[in-house]
Structure 1
Amino acid sequence: MKEIHCYKFETEINSDINLVFECLNKDKHVLKWNTQIIENLYDGHEDDLKEGSTFITRQKIGKKVYELQGSYTKYNPPYHAKVETETKEGVSRTEYILEEIPDGTKFIVKVTLVPSNWFYMVVTNILKWSFKYIYDDQFNNFIEYVYQLEYERN
C-alpha cells in the first residue's frame, strides 16, 4: 500500500544542533518532555545506536499501554534519524531532520504510515488531521525542554 503522510512539524530552535539532538535522542531527556513514552529498551546500549539498531518502546496513549518493536532505519547524528515501528495498523515511520542555521537549528519531524490493509488506509486518511493535536503538544514540550536545559547549563 501507498505511504500516507500523517503529520509534519517544522520550526527553528535557537539552540545548538548537538543539544537539540541530545534532547531528542537520549532517554534521560526524552522521558522528561515526551508524556507518552514510559521507557525504551534497547538491544545493546543506548550510546551505541546506529542504523539498524532495534529497541522496544513502551508508550501510554490515553489509558492504554502499548509495547512496540522499533528500529532505526536511518541514523546520522546530529542531523538525521528515522525510526520505524510495525503494528496491526501498518508500518509507522517517524523521521527527524536537523539542520544547522545561523541562529540555531532547523527542526523537522515527518510522520507517515504504510497501512496494512484498506481498512486502516481509510481510517488513517479520515483521522490523520487529529495527529496534529497529539504531536504538536509533544514537540512544543520538546522545544520548551531544550530551552530550559540550555538555560540551566549556561
Structure 2
Amino acid sequence: MGDAVTGASTELIRTVDLPRHTLWDLITDVTRFGEWSPECIYGAWLDTASPGPRAGARFQGRSRYPDGFVSQVVCEVTEATEPSVFAWVVLDETEDAARPGSIWRYELSPADTPDRTRLLHRFEHGPGITGTRLAAERDPASLPKRLRDMNANMAATVDAMLRHAHGRV
C-alpha cells in the first residue's frame, strides 16, 4: 500500500478587494494569525533580531484542535518574494526542511484592477510525521475530512484578514 497522506492537499483561490502589497503585509505577519485563524492560536518569529518574511527565517506556531489538543511547531520560510509568494514548511521533530510535515503557500497575482488581487492559498501534506498522518494511518477516512476542515479554516482566516484590512474587525 502506498503513502496516501504525502501529497494530500487542499487550496483556496479567490479574487480579493485588496492591492497585492496590502495583502502581502497581512499574510506575512505570522504574529497576527492567532487573531484570524480558527485553528492557529499563536505565531512568533524565532529570530527576533532578524525576523521574516525571508527565506530561511523560522517561526513558531501553535494550534488548537476541536478536541482541545494544542500542538506547537517550528516553521521555516522557503520562499518570500514580495509581493508575490510567501511559503513555508512545518517541520516535524527531525527538523528536516526537505521532509516537512506540511507545506503552506500563498501566491498573490494581479487581478482585473490594481486594487484587487488573485489569491491562491495552498496546503500540502509532506512526508514528515504529523497528527494528520497518524490519524489517517489509524482511520483513512479521517484524511478527506481533515482536508475539508483545513480548507474551511483557510477560508475563515482569509475572511478575517479581509475584515481587518477593511476595518470591520
One fold, TM greater than 0.5? yes
Deviations 1:105-151 (A, max 9, x none): 1111221123348xx49937754422343223323323332432343
Contact 1:13 1:143 in 2 (8 A): no
In the TM superposition, 1:85-104 aligns within 5 A as 85-87=90-92, 91-103=101-113, 104=116
TM (normalized to structure 2)?
A: 0.72
Q: 3-state DSSP class of the match of 2:73?
A: strand
Structure 1 position 67, deviation (Å):
0.9
Query: Take 1:60 and 1:121, find their aligned partners in 2: how far apart are those partners?
Result: 17
Higher helix proportion: 1
In the TM superposition, 1:111-130 aligns within 5 A as 111-116=123-128, 120=133, 123=136, 126-130=141-145
Q: 3-state DSSP class of the match of 2:56?
A: coil
Percent identical: 9
Q: 3-state DSSP class of the match of 2:18?
A: coil
Q: 3-state DSSP class of the match of 2:152?
A: helix
TM (normalized to structure 1)?
A: 0.78
Higher strand proportion: 1
Contact 1:40 1:56 in 2 (8 A): yes
Q: Residues 121, 32 of structure 1: CA spacing in aligned structure 2 closer, same or farther, 3 A cutoff?
A: closer
Q: What is the Cα-based RMSD across aligned positions, in Å?
A: 3.1
Deviations 1:45-84 (A, max 9, x none): 3973110011221111120010111100111122101111
Which residue pairs with 1:15 in the alignment?
18
Structure 1: gaps of 5 or more residues: none
Query: Take 2:74 and 2:112, find their aligned partners in 1: how far apart are those partners?
Result: 37
